[in-house]
Structure formats: C-alpha cells, structure tokens
C-alpha cells in the first residue's frame, strides 16, 4: 500500500512538473509574441524589415539563447505539431483572407485563379517530383519511395500566401493582387488535398483506373469543400437575420460568426474535405451576406477581431519557424554530410523556380486567349511578377514536411532528416532573400 501510494505521488509530481514546464514555455512564447509586435511597430517604416522577417529573426535569436542555456539539447519552447498549425493557426488566416477580399476582382478572374491554383499546382508538383526523383537517387540521401517523391512535390508546390500578399497592394494593383492572392489560397488547398490523397492511396500499383479514381476524388473534394463553405456562410446569415441577435447583444452576433466559421472548418476536417477551401469561401459568403445583417458595432468588431486573430497567428507561425530552424535533433543527422544537405536545398530551390515557371507562363497564355479586352489580359511583366510572387515557401510546406518525414515528433532516418532540414532552409532562404531582393 505504501509502495503504491509512493508511486502515485511520484507520478503526480511528474505531471505537476510537466504542467509547470508547459506554463513556463507558454509564458515565454506569449512574451516573444508581444516583443514581435512591439519591435515590428518600431521598425514599421524600415523597408528592410516587416512582421514576418522580425518574427523569424526573433525566433532565430531565441533559438540560439535556448541552445546555449540548455547545453545544445534543444532550441524550442513548444514542440511543433501539424495539428497545432492546421487546426488552430491556419483557419483564422485563411478565413480573414476570404473575409477581406475584394469579391468583384476575385470572381472576375475566378477561372484564371482556379487555373493557376489547381492545374498549375499539379503541374508544379509533377515537375518537382520528377526532378527530385532524378537528382536525389544519384545523391544517395537515403531510402525514399515513390510516395515520398510525390509528397516532396506537394510540399514544395505550396506557396506562402501570407508572405505573398505583402508584396502587392490590393488598391494599386487589383488584377495582380486578386490573381496572386486567389492562386495562393487555391494552391494551398490543392497541395494539402493532393498530399492527403498521396497518403491514402496505394502508389505501389498505379494503373489507369487508380489514376481516374484519384483525380475523381480530387475534383469531388474541391466541389464538396466549396459547397460546405458557402452553405455555412449562408446559414449564419439566415440565423442572424431571422433571430436578430443585435437587439440584445452584439457579442452574440460576433461570437456566432466566429464559431460558425470555425465550425465550417472543423466539419470539413471531420468529413476529410479541404478545410482551407471551406473556410475561405465561408469567409467570402459571410462578408457578403452575414456581415450586412449585423449591427454597425458588430461590423466594426468582426473586422477587427478577424484581422487580429489572423495577425497573431501569422506572427506565431514565423516565430516558431525561426526557432525550430535551430533544433539540434534534426541537424545532427546531416552534420556528417553538409554538402549533401546544401546540395539538396539548392536543387529544391531550383526545382521550385522551374516548376513555377512551367505553369505560370503557359497558363497565362491560355488565359489571355479567353480575354477580349486588353486590360484584362496578363502581360509579360505581370506574368513575371506572378511567377516571382509565388516563390515563397512557408508554414504549409513545414507542416506537410513534418507530417511526411517525422514519426511521433522525431526525425529518425537520415533521408527524412535531410528533407526536414532542407525544407527549413528553403523556407528561410525564400522568405528572407526574396524580401530583400524586392527591397533592392
């Protein structure tokens, strides 16, 4: 009895210690988020810095400090989880993007956006997958199968729509903004859907029927996800209009809009649909119907609430990516062959450039054939801008890479470690270098 009581007390102490450690980590992370906002505000007029670069820099500095204080054991306050990213951080960013979009420009160029975001992403995925298979087999980086190479294509075809939007101004370049913005959202959805399809299909026996089933499911996911988002938005508008919550409390209106938007996202996850597409179209419908049925005070509150949630989520992602870049566990696997790691990163960057060019210019030509007026056509300078604007890789690529190449939060194989570290390198390089090239 005494022994069992002692063991219970010991376990209780472990749990309390673990909880205390988590509280300390969360406090430090929140303090870092505050620091990012304050420093970002102070550097707002500095063209060499923005919120994302500031958060990355603070994350890297924090990682160095943790490495030094922990004796080189860890650089992270929190363990990265793709569930944390996809369930809590991504929804407010994508929803706010749909909620704030200028719908007239977006739907005027809808077919071109879908062409770039869906067809273009598949072309880019194919180019990157084939290129990776060709080069990596010669480099002997580890055991990668056909599913891994297809996953690599999906991972590095996912653009960073958060950083991309910082390049263009919605009022000064409405056509370019709507194309780049719309493509970024559809691109992320396509990459995630394709990635999930790769994991769910047996790729060891590919034939025509499997390919047809694959693309049939792919199309069904797109249509079903869009319909679910539209229905969720319309339902929220109907409920708020009929019940008129504003006569008693604007808080109820705002709460219902936030919860209905998040419910649409989680329902899409529940039914294995594209939650990104669902919450994006839910945001568009809510901004067009639901928003006009609430009181004036609720309109102001919702716009600021959604924008604030999106802003904090974006900073959180970049702060974590910067911190995670120095995680010693991943780098020790590639420390014996740094040339291989650098070579893999360089090849992936080159494939990203080629893969994007492989669809932007041909699909722009096809899109121009359907446009009658010259101002609706995409000229060569705009095509180059679209190609360049979508070269950033970010949190979606990171999350997918972790999903594919880690087991229980750990990187245990050399090939997997090289792919994780190469993804981090590509994300940091494409984000920082491209930003400074734009400033120059």
Mean pLDDT of 10-19: 49
Taking the C-alpha atoms of residue 11 and residue 15, their distance in angstroms, rounded to an integer, is 6
Q: Which of 2-6, 143-147, 318-322, 395-399 has the lowest mean pLDDT?
A: 2-6
Mean pLDDT of 265-281: 89
Q: How far is CA 216 from the centre of its chain?
A: 25
Taking the C-alpha atoms of residue 399 and residue 326, their distance in angstroms, rounded to an integer, is 16
- Grade residue 167 by pLDDT with cuts at 50, 70 and 90: low
- Grade residue 11 by pLDDT with cuts at 50, 70 and 90: very low
Q: How far is CA 342 from the centre of its chain?
A: 24
- Grade residue 262 by pLDDT with cuts at 50, 70 and 90: very high
Q: Which of 184-188, 206-210, 252-256, 268-272 has the lowest mean pLDDT?
A: 206-210
Residues constituting the chain? 440
Is the pLDDT reported for residue 16 higher than 60?
Answer: no
Q: Among 396, 96, 86, which residue's Cα sits nearest to residue 266?
A: 86
Taking the C-alpha atoms of residue 376 and residue 300, their distance in angstroms, rounded to an integer, is 33
Q: Which of 44-48, 55-59, 339-343, 436-440 has the lowest mean pLDDT?
A: 436-440
Those residues with Cβ within 8 angstroms of residue 276's Cβ, 6 or more apart along the chain or in another chain: 90, 94, 185, 188, 189, 192, 225
Residue 87 CB: number of other CB atoms within 10 A? 15
Mean pLDDT of 18-25: 72
Mean pLDDT of 257-286: 91
Q: Of residues 95 and 63, which shows the higher confidence score?
A: 95
- Grade residue 411 by pLDDT with cuts at 50, 70 and 90: low
Mean pLDDT of 57-76: 77
82-439 classified as CATH 3.40.50.1220: no
In a 10 Å sphere around its CB, with 0-12 CB exposed, 13-18 middle and 19+ buried, how is residue 208 labelled? exposed
- Grade residue 435 by pLDDT with cuts at 50, 70 and 90: low
Token couple for 380 = 């060569």
Q: How confident is the model at residue 297, as a pLDDT?
A: 85
Is the pLDDT reported for residue 416 higher than 50?
Answer: yes
Q: How confident is the model at residue 31, as a pLDDT?
A: 92
Query: Domain-by-domain residue ranges, the chain?
Result: 82-439
Q: What angle (nearest 5°) sits at the alpha carbon of residue 361, between those of residues 359 and 364? A: 95
- Grade residue 348 by pLDDT with cuts at 50, 70 and 90: very high
* Mean pLDDT rounded to a whole number for the chain: 81
Mean pLDDT of 390-394: 82
- Grade residue 194 by pLDDT with cuts at 50, 70 and 90: confident
Q: What is the pLDDT of residues 358-386, one digit of tens each?
A: 999 999 999 988 887 777 788 898 899 88
Taking the C-alpha atoms of residue 36 and residue 30, their distance in angstroms, rounded to an integer, is 10
Q: Of residues 57 and 432, which shows the higher confidence score?
A: 57
Q: Of residues 323 and 77, which shows the higher confidence score?
A: 323
Q: What is the DSSP letter of 245?
A: G
Is the pLDDT reported for residue 132 higher than 80?
Answer: yes
The pTM score is 0.81
């Amino acid at each position: 009895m005494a022994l069992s009581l002692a063991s219970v007390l010991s376990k209780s102490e472990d749990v309390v210690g673990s909880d205390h450690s988590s509280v300390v980590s969360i406090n430090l992370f929140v303090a870092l988020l505050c620091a990012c906002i304050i420093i970002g505000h102070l550097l707002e007029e500095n063209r060499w810095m923005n919120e994302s670069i500031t958060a990355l820099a603070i994350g890297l500095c924090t990682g160095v400090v943790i490495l030094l204080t922990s004796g080189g054991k860890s650089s992270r306050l929190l363990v990265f989880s793709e569930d944390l990213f996809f369930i809590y951080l991504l929804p407010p960013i994508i929803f706010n993007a749909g909620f704030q979009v200028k719908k007239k420009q977006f739907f005027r160029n809808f077919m071109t956006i879908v062409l770039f975001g869906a067809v273009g992403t598949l072309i880019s995925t194919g180019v990157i997958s084939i290129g990776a298979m060709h080069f990596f087999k010669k480099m002997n980086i580890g055991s990668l199968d056909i599913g891994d190479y297809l996953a690599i294509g999906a991972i590095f075809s996912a653009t960073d729509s958060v950083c991309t939007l910082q390049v263009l101004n919605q009022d000064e370049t409405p056509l370019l903004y709507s194309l780049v913005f719309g493509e970024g959202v559809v691109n992320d959805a396509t990459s995630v859907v394709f990635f999930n399809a790769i994991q769910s299909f047996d790729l060891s026996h590919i034939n025509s029927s499997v390919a047809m089933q694959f693309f049939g499911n792919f199309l069904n996911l797109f249509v079903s996800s869009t319909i679910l988002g539209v229905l969720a938005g319309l339902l929220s508008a109907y409920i708020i209009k009929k019940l008129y919550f504003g006569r008693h409390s604007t808080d109820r209106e705002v709460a219902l809009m936030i919860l209905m938007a998040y419910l649409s996202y989680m329902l899409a996850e529940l039914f294995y649909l594209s939650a990104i597409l669902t919450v994006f179209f839910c945001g568009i419908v809510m901004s067009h119907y639901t928003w006009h049925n609430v009181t004036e005070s609720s309109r102001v509150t919702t716009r600021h609430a959604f924008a604030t949630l999106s802003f904090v989520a974006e900073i959180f992602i970049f702060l974590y990516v910067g911190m995670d870049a120095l995680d010693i566990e991943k780098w020790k696997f590639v420390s014996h062959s740094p040339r291989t790691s650098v070579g893999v990163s360089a090849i992936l960057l080159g494939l990203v450039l080629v893969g994007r060019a492989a669809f932007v210019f041909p699909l722009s030509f096809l899109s121009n054939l359907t446009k009658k007026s010259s101002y609706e056509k995409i000229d060569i300078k705009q095509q180059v801008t679209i190609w360049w604007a979508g070269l950033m890789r970010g949190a979606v690529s990171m999350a997918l890479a972790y999903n594919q190449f880690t087991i229980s939060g750990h990187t245990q194989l050399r090939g997997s470690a090289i792919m994780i570290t190469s993804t981090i390198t590509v994300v940091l390089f494409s984000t920082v270098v491209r930003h400074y090239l734009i400033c120059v």
